[in-house]
């Protein structure tokens, strides 16, 4: 049997003593230019997958490289102390973004190094933060557990993909084909950020996403605004009125049924968010100062826990250089909805289209183009796994862990829930200034070191779940 939860200091010490070796392993991994979006690097993506499988076998996992129509998956398994031990699925990705423009890098993006910086030492190179350094924090935690105790405190399955940066086209078919093998009690995802360099964070919610395109048509051709102006329907005006009607004077969405399934965020969570120091800079960092959206709600609540309707693009009439006095035959707009709670994407699409159709004049027409949909993800705030992970992180870092939301979406988390019936615990150690997807990507040495220690603590804490 693995040692009691209070006896993890030897494992943490093993992480500390092995830090230099773990950095060297990360360097080996980062040196592989596994750029998934460029077919010229297909061989390098396979090389990265094979490197990971070999490293995991060295830890004691059974690990295989599994072919897909695209880049391969890595699947690894390790038994726990008993068949009754909790079973976790850890997910990460080994592919990286292209490095262009290369001339903006201070050094070769695939020649990682450690450098001193104002905030502490940093590991530089493409993929150090997204996601090679992050996933290796978990692998190194498992390595330390094995070195000290000869076994892991939980049953662990690891799934590492090579297409996350190119849309993950092979992932859903792979999950479908291997659902029985991959299903676990819950998933662990390490592809997110801390709140700041001393405050760990657990992302408890991800907003869903729905996209729709509206095309309004009137006359059978563009019309001379002198001959027809004032008499002919103008699709740009019609569409503008429709779009303006989506929000009321208080910023709320007016589409009937839009807020069905939206729950209020608990008061204690809102109070915690009010204490987060960087919240005030979210708008000021981009040259704004006055929150839009629903009045009376904080910026963090608006971006993490409330649904939205945003106009992402509108086109109509003549937009070239100079001036052309026409009444356009058609106008179009693209609208996205960020969803929360139990909002039903299909129901909202239907309600939105009915909302638009009711506002189109009788001699005009409207058509729609669908642009995908996915529901929101919300981990229950009272989840035992969540509470244990929060306590474990708080024991490791200077500041207590905070539960945050994410305004964006991580499709794999929705797939785990809908296809495998698993909730996901999202714990990452990236920082807002890690420059992921940009030149000079870096990963804090503190994040890499204490990230390993954090996973040691989390694995110990969740073995009793």
The domain that holds 237 is classified in CATH as 3.30.70.360
> Both 107 and 247 in a single domain?
no
**Which of 351, 374, 397 is the last residue in one of the domains?**
374
What does the pLDDT read at residue 6?
52
Residue 279 covered by a domain: no
What does the pLDDT read at residue 1?
39
CA angle 294, 297, 299 (to 5 degrees): 100
**Which of 342, 374, 406 is the last residue in one of the domains?**
374
Q: Do residues 396 and 450 lie in contact, with contact meaning Cβ atoms separated by under 8 Å? A: yes
> Both 334 and 456 in a single domain?
no
Reported residue count of the chain is: 465
User: What are the backbone angles phi and psi of residue 301, rounded to the nearest 5°?
Assistant: -65, -40
- Looking at the DSSP bridge assignments, the partners of residue 316 are 331
- Provide the domain count of the chain: 2
Q: Do residues 252 and 309 lie in contact, with contact meaning Cβ atoms separated by under 8 Å? A: no
3-state secondary structure the chain: CCCCCCCCHHHHHHHHHCHHHHHHHHHHHHCCCCECCCHHHHHHHHHHHHHHHHHHHHHCCEEEEECCCCCCEEEEEECCCCCCCCEEEEEEECCECCCCCHHHCCCCCCCCEEECCCCCCEEECCCCCCCHHHHHHHHHHHHHHHHHHCCCCCEEEEEEECCHHHCCCCHHHHHHHCHHHHCCCEEEECCCECCECCECEEEEEECEEEEEEEEEECCCCCEEHHHHCCCCCCHHHHHHHHHHCCECCCCCECCCCCCCCCCCCCHHHHHHHHCCHHHHHHHHCCCCCCCCCCCCCCHHHHHHCCCEEEEEEEEECCCCCCCCCEECCEEEEEEEEEECCCCCHHHHHHHHHHHHHCCCCCCCEEEEEEEEEECCEECCCCCHHHHHHHHHHHHHCCCCCEEEEECCCCHHHHHHHHHHCCCEEEECCECCCCCCCCCCCEEEHHHHHHHHHHHHHHHHHHCCC
CATH number of the domain to which 63 belongs: 3.40.630.10
Sign of CA dihedral 14, 20, 24, 30: positive
Residue 241 covered by a domain: yes
Residue 291 covered by a domain: no
> Both 69 and 193 in a single domain?
yes
Q: Do residues 90 and 131 lie in contact, with contact meaning Cβ atoms separated by under 8 Å? A: no
> Both 323 and 437 in a single domain?
no
pLDDT tens series, the chain, 465 aa: 344 545 799 999 999 999 999 999 999 999 999 999 999 999 999 999 999 999 999 999 999 999 999 999 999 999 999 999 999 999 999 999 999 999 999 999 999 999 999 989 999 999 999 999 999 999 999 999 999 999 999 999 999 999 999 989 999 999 999 999 999 999 999 999 999 999 999 999 889 999 999 999 999 999 999 999 999 999 999 999 999 999 999 999 999 999 999 999 999 999 999 888 777 788 888 899 888 899 999 999 999 999 999 999 999 999 999 999 999 999 999 999 999 999 999 999 999 999 999 999 999 999 999 998 888 988 888 899 999 999 999 999 999 999 998 887 777 888 999 899 999 999 999 998 999 999 999 999 999 999 999 999 999 999 887
> Both 331 and 396 in a single domain?
no
Residue 277 covered by a domain: no
Tell me: the pLDDT tens digits for 355-400? Answer: 999 999 999 999 999 998 888 988 888 899 999 999 999 999 999 9
> Both 234 and 322 in a single domain?
yes
Residue 90 covered by a domain: yes
Q: Residue 21 has which token pair?
A: 């070796």
Residue 68 covered by a domain: yes
Q: Do residues 254 and 242 lie in contact, with contact meaning Cβ atoms separated by under 8 Å? A: no
In whole angstroms, give the CA distance from residue 146 to residue 42: 33
> Both 337 and 258 in a single domain?
yes
Residue 281 covered by a domain: no
Instruction: Residue 163: count other Cβ atoms within 10 Å of its Cβ.
Output: 23
Maximum separation of any 2 CA atoms in the chain, in Å: 87
> Both 267 and 395 in a single domain?
no
Q: Do residues 46 and 71 lie in contact, with contact meaning Cβ atoms separated by under 8 Å? A: yes
**Which of 354, 374, 394 is the last residue in one of the domains?**
374
Instruction: Residue 153: count other Cβ atoms within 10 Å of its Cβ.
Output: 26
Segments forming the whole domain that contains residue 326: 208-271+304-374
In whole angstroms, give the CA distance from residue 428 to residue 420: 22
Q: Residue 25 has which token pair?
A: 């392993």
> Both 332 and 225 in a single domain?
yes
> Both 101 and 32 in a single domain?
yes
Instruction: Residue 269: count other Cβ atoms within 10 Å of its Cβ.
Output: 21
Nearest to 348 by CA among 210, 215, 254: 210
> Both 167 and 264 in a single domain?
no
In whole angstroms, give the CA distance from residue 170 to residue 133: 23
CA distances from 186 to 13, 121, 192, 292, 302 (A): 28, 33, 17, 36, 28
Q: Classify residue 321 as exposed, middle or buried by CB count within 10 Å of its CB (0-12, 13-18, 19+).
A: exposed
Q: Residue 161 has which token pair?
A: 């993909």
Residue 4 covered by a domain: no
What does the pLDDT read at residue 2?
42
> Both 87 and 53 in a single domain?
yes
């Amino acid at each position: 049997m693995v040692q009691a939860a209070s006896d993890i200091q030897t494992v943490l010490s093993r992480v500390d003593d092995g830090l230099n070796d773990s950095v060297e392993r990360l360097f080996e991994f980062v040196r592989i230019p596994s750029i998934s979006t460029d077919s010229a690097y297909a061989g390098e993506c396979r090389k990265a997958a094979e490197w990971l499988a070999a490293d995991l076998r060295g830890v004691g996992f059974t690990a295989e490289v599994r072919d897909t129509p695209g880049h391969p998956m890595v699947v690894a398994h390790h038994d726990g102390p008993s068949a009754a031990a909790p079973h976790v699925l850890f997910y990460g990705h080994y592919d990286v973004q292209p490095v262009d423009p290369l001339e903006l890098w201070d050094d070769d993006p695939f020649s990682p190094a450690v450098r001193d910086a104002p905030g502490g030492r940093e590991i530089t190179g493409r993929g150090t933060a997204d996601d090679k350094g992050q996933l290796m924090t978990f692998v190194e935690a498992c390595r330390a557990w094995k070195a000290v105790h000869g076994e892991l405190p939980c049953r662990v399955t690891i799934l590492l993909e090579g297409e996350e940066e190119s849309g993950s086209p092979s992932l859903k078919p792979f999950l479908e084909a291997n659902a029985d093998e991959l299903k676990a009690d819950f998933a662990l995802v390490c592809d997110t950020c801390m709140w700041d360099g001393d405050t760990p964070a657990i992302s408890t919610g991800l907003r869903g996403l729905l996209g729709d395109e509206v095309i309004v048509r009137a006359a059978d051709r563009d019309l001379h605004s002198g001959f027809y102006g004032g008499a002919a329907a103008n699709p740009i005006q019609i569409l503008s009125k429709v779009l303006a009607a989506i929000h009321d004077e208080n910023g709320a969405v007016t589409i009937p049924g839009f807020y069905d399934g939206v729950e209020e965020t608990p008061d204690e969570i809102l109070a915690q968010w009010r204490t987060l120091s960087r919240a005030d800079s979210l708008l000021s960092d981009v040259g704004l100062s006055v929150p839009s959206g629903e009045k009376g709600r904080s910026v963090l609540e608006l971006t993490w826990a409330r649904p939205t309707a945003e106009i992402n693009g509108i086109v109509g009439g003549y937009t070239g250089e100079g001036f052309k006095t026409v009444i356009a035959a058609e106008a179009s707009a693209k609208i996205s909805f960020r969803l929360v709670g139990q909002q039903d994407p299909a129901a909202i699409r239907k309600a939105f289209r009915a909302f638009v159709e009711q506002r189109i004049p009788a001699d005009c027409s409207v058509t729609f183009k669908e642009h995908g949909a996915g529901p929101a993800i919300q981990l229950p705030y009272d989840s035992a796994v969540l509470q244990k992970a929060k306590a474990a992180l708080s024991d490791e870092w200077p500041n207590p862990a905070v539960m945050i939301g994410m305004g964006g979406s991580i499709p794999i988390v929705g797939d785990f829930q809908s296809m495998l019936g698993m909730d996901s615990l999202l714990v990452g150690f990236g920082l807002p200034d890690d420059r992921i997807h940009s030149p000079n990507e870096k990963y804090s040495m503190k994040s890499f070191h204490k990230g390993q220690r954090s996973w040691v603590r989390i694995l110990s804490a969740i073995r009793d779940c």
